[in-house]
Amino acid sequence: MQYKKLGNSDLNVSVVALGTWGLGGGSVWSDRDSTAAEAARLLDACKDHGINYIDTAPVYGTGASEELLGAALAGRRHDFVLQTKCSLNWRGEGGNFHYSRDGYTVNNDTRPEAIRRDVEDSLRRMKTDYLDSLIVHYVCKSFPVADTVGVLEDLIREGKIRAYGLSNSQPADLEEYQNAPQKRQGVSVVQEFFSILSPFHGRDYFPFCEKYNTSFQTYGVLEEGFLTGPAFLEKRFAKTDIRARIPWVEEKYHDGLRKAFAAWTPLCEARGCSFAQLVEAWALAQFPNMSLLVGMRKSANVADTVRCLDLRLSPRELEMMEESVRGIQVAVLDK
């Protein structure tokens, strides 16, 4: 495993991070629900392979992901760098409507009182007294950034969190947060969608991350499984499932994806790697301060994922991989 500082913080994090959106189950991940025992085995595998960075959020299964992690972290909280999120809640205490799902109405609220309540709720669900990193899940323009930055900095001083970041944001948002008068430590990480099929938003963001010494944490690099191989294209999902709501489920993209897999096959054969590992290695090569956030629900996924760190692709191979999908690349998607 490789480790890096998380942006401008003092946190040493594994380059590969465990994403736990799928752990929450529900209608968004409709094929299976996880158990506390499975979550514990998943963390066992992470520790065995050197992954110390875990990402979750209150809305992943409306509390389910955090609660499963809380049980799995018992007795080993200090072995992991724990990151969760704020600003999306289903308490019905104000904010902007974000979505309704599984019988809950979720609002986006970045007011100080809402963020403090989010933090306390997450601490309770995960049975811990501090969070290593707190991400503003969706940047909201309805409430003053200065107030949001102020409470995040206060939470650092109080020892409730050690770092903070942004997700589902724009480079201009990073600029605004970093230039707020209340800023002391500042934004350590931005967590944004980025893949070989949709690289544009990330590439717009990279210069700003470099300017502010902010880590870029990519999610969606495997496009929810559609970049793991041709067989995945045959899968069918419930209408509510995230995998049924992205472009790659449409037949019009399948020919382009199959051609890409055919073009990548020699690279995989030469290195003895999977398509997933190849695509993950491509992503890591795009920016020096990259954190690879991969959703994993099984122990075997962990062992498979970390092998991407051993792959080295030449500039020509990296370009060839992207050229293979140039005709089907799309603008970034809000999932």
Residue 227, pLDDT score: 95
Identify the H or E element spanning 101: strand 96-101
Residue 292, pLDDT score: 98
- pLDDT of 26 above 80: no
- pLDDT of 83 above 90: yes
Whether 9 maps to a domain, the answer reads: yes
Whether 333 maps to a domain, the answer reads: no
Give one DSSP letter per residue of 16-34, joined into a string: EEEE-TGGG-GGGSTT---
Please give the average per-residue pLDDT across 140-161, as a whole number: 96
The residues annotated as belonging to the active site are 60
Q: How far apart are CA 276 and CA 149, in angstroms?
A: 37
Please give the average per-residue pLDDT across 25-29, as a whole number: 75
Which CATH number goes with the domain that contains 267? 3.20.20.100
Whether 335 maps to a domain, the answer reads: no
Please give the average per-residue pLDDT across 202-220, as a whole number: 97
- pLDDT of 129 above 60: yes
Please give the average per-residue pLDDT across 127-144, as a whole number: 96
Whether 334 maps to a domain, the answer reads: no
Q: What sign results for the dihedral spanned by CA atoms 110, 167, 42, 298?
A: positive
| pLDDT, tens digit (0-9, with 9 covering 90-100), for 250-305 | 889 999 999 999 999 999 999 999 999 999 999 999 999 999 999 888 888 899 99
Whether 170 maps to a domain, the answer reads: yes
Whether 277 maps to a domain, the answer reads: yes
Please give the average per-residue pLDDT across 64-68, as a whole number: 94
Residue 124, pLDDT score: 98
Whether 218 maps to a domain, the answer reads: yes
| More reliable by pLDDT, 214 or 234 | 214
CB 193 within 8 A of CB 19: no
Please give the average per-residue pLDDT across 116-138, as a whole number: 97
Structure confidence at residue 239 as a pLDDT band (50, 70, 90): confident
Whether 116 maps to a domain, the answer reads: yes
- For the chain, what is the domain count? 1
CA-to-CA dists, residue 176 to 44, 149, 155, 314, angstroms: 39, 10, 19, 37
- pLDDT of 241 above 90: no
| pLDDT, tens digit (0-9, with 9 covering 90-100), for 40-50 | 999 999 999 99
| More reliable by pLDDT, 120 or 242 | 120
Instruction: Give the range among 19-33, 128-142, 194-208 with minimum mean pLDDT.
Output: 19-33
Residue 30, pLDDT score: 62
- Residue 243 amino acid letter: R
Q: With 0.75 as the threshold, say if the pTM is over it.
A: yes
If you average pLDDT over every residue of the chain, what do you get? Answer: 94
Range of the domain at 86: 3-328
